[in-house]
Amino acid sequence: MKKSVMFLVFAVLTLFAVNTAFAGAECPQKRATKKAPASLYSKDETGKADAANGKAIFEKKAKPMACKMCHGDKGDGTGKLGGALKPKPRNFACAETMKDVTPGQMFWIIQNGSKGTGMAPFKTLKDGEIWDVIKYIREELMK
């Protein structure tokens, strides 16, 4: 009995490792996200934003779920819950996919979500907190 349990644990761990190894970041990543209204698309209020608070939001504070659960610790779209989603969470580390994604575009999607995808609106975040998390993503996770 004990041996079979150990085997099962081993098998599950192996599967997990293999799965993680192959669930690599997609780049370039296809992007069909709707464009923010023009006035917001070109808006950028990250100048005075707080990247350290943004990191805390990204990694744990955001409700109902931290951004990293889907976007991954490194923001490359490989978070634990991201694998099952179609389309996949945005890979912020992929410069080619991110080239037209302005701070204002990010703000719009974080506040309103991307309809028909796993990206839900984050109504619990105040405007300032959204700029904080955008600053963190742009400074630390984008390449």
Contacts of 16 (CB under 8 A, 6+ apart): none
Stretch that binds ligand HEC, among 5-13, 15-23, 41-49, 82-90 (CB under 6 A): 82-90
Stretch that binds ligand HEC, among 2-10, 17-25, 44-52, 85-93 (CB under 6 A): 85-93
CB of 21 to ligand HEC, least distance (A): 22
* Residues 88-127 contacting ligand HEC, CB under 6 A: 89-90, 101, 105-106, 109-110, 114, 117-119, 122
Residue 89 · residue 79 · CB < 8 Å = yes
Contacts of 45 (CB under 8 A, 6+ apart): 103, 127, 131
Residue 59 · residue 66 · CB < 8 Å = yes
CB of 5 to ligand HEC, least distance (A): 33
Contacts of 81 (CB under 8 A, 6+ apart): 65, 69, 70, 118
Residues lying near ligand HEC in the complex (CB under 6 A) = 31, 33, 62, 65, 67, 69-71, 81, 85, 87, 89-90, 101, 105-106, 109-110, 114, 117-119, 122, 133
